Amino acid sequence: MSTAPDTAAPNDGIRHYTMLCIAALGMMALALFLRRLDMVSVLLPPLVGFVAMLFRWRTGALGVLFFLAWLLSAQQWPVLHPLFIAQEIAWIFTDTGFGGPTGRYVKPVLIGGREGFGPPELLLCAATLAYFAAHYRLLGVSKHIFLSDPRLRVERDSKRERRSPRLVAGREVLTLLAPLPLWIGCSWLCWRWLEGKEHDEISRRWWQVIILAWLFGLFFLIAAAILRYLVRNQIRPEEATLALQDTLWRETSREQRRITRWIAWARTRQRKKEET
């Protein structure tokens, strides 16, 4: 039980995040439409996201990302368009005599690419981020939030493994949406900084990958070091004793082992003598 104000309805959490998912999918469709994609491409990712939300698929959000990445790539390379690929496959069947489409439906030339980063792209990123967060949080309140403990022998999606929906307040949704522009802005700045990086001997793209890997690595190293320092500052007396004992053992383990084994052996031998 919690002392949090219990004014929320039992299923408020599910309702809040379902609504947020639907809104984010709508925004996503709008952003794709503004990017001048065809109707199938506009509806495909939101449809996948909606079905994933409806059936609480764990990998639903990643599926949406996959389709988005596919369609964005298809705008740059039209031959990757899903309908075009489907049509090509259908033509194979037509040639083999199983029937198929009689005319070309998709003309890759007409799928125009869009350069730069404008309001539709900003909207698309914000909608995708919002959908991701909302979908995972919806899974947390409706399926499970914890790593299941096999020793407890409880069902995977039991009530104890999920977050109580009544704990979700409307304020939580606002705090989720507020920092989204910050992440998008940082990412855009990162791209602007990264695109100017070049190396004489290494290909530009691979050099950017290397820089990015270093960036991530440094971030995690520094964060881990700071965390370790903070934890060491709060160490309890038992933990400190344990650490000291461990250090001593590692330093003198060989000598101690020799002595203690002799003592144990002598005791065992003494007992055997006494028994006989």
Chain positions 152 to 191 lying near another protein, rule: CB under 8 A, are: 160, 163-164, 167, 172, 179-180, 183-184, 186-188, 190-191
Stretch that binds another protein, among 37-45, 49-57, 65-73, 97-105 (CB under 8 A): 65-73
The residue among 89 and 259 lying less far from another protein, judged by its C-beta, is 259
- Residue 256 binds another protein, judged by CB under 8 A: yes
As given in the structure block, the two tokens for residue 217 are 């690595």
Stretch that binds another protein, among 37-45, 87-95, 100-108, 127-135 (CB under 8 A): 127-135
The residue among 109 and 147 lying less far from another protein, judged by its C-beta, is 147
The whole-angstrom separation of Cα 170 and Cα 174 is 7
- Please give the backbone phi and psi of residue 96, each rounded to the nearest 5 degrees, phi first: -85, 0
Do residues 112 and 35 make contact, with C-beta atoms less than 8 angstroms apart?
no
Element (H or E) spanning 172, and its range? helix 170-177
Nearest residue to 58 (alpha-carbon basis) of 145, 130, 127, 128: 145
The whole-angstrom separation of Cα 167 and Cα 171 is 11
Stretch that binds another protein, among 38-46, 49-57, 97-105, 223-231 (CB under 8 A): 223-231
| 89-to-34, 38, 40, 75, 131 alpha-carbon distances in Å | 29, 20, 18, 20, 32
Binding test (CB under 8 A) with another protein, winner from 170, 234, 273, 274: 234
As given in the structure block, the two tokens for residue 68 are 């988005």
Do residues 17 and 168 make contact, with C-beta atoms less than 8 angstroms apart?
yes
Do residues 111 and 81 make contact, with C-beta atoms less than 8 angstroms apart?
yes
- Residue 140 binds another protein, judged by CB under 8 A: yes
* Distance in Å, CB of 100 to another protein, minimum: 32
* Distance in Å, CB of 39 to another protein, minimum: 20
Binding test (CB under 8 A) with another protein, winner from 19, 62, 79, 266: 62
Element (H or E) spanning 83, and its range? helix 82-95
Residues in region 18-37 near another protein by CB under 8 A: none
Do residues 143 and 15 make contact, with C-beta atoms less than 8 angstroms apart?
no
The residue among 50 and 188 lying less far from another protein, judged by its C-beta, is 188
* Distance in Å, CB of 250 to another protein, minimum: 7
Q: Name the residue type at position 80.
A: L
The residue among 51 and 235 lying less far from another protein, judged by its C-beta, is 235
The residue among 39 and 248 lying less far from another protein, judged by its C-beta, is 248
* Distance in Å, CB of 104 to another protein, minimum: 26
The residue among 236 and 272 lying less far from another protein, judged by its C-beta, is 236
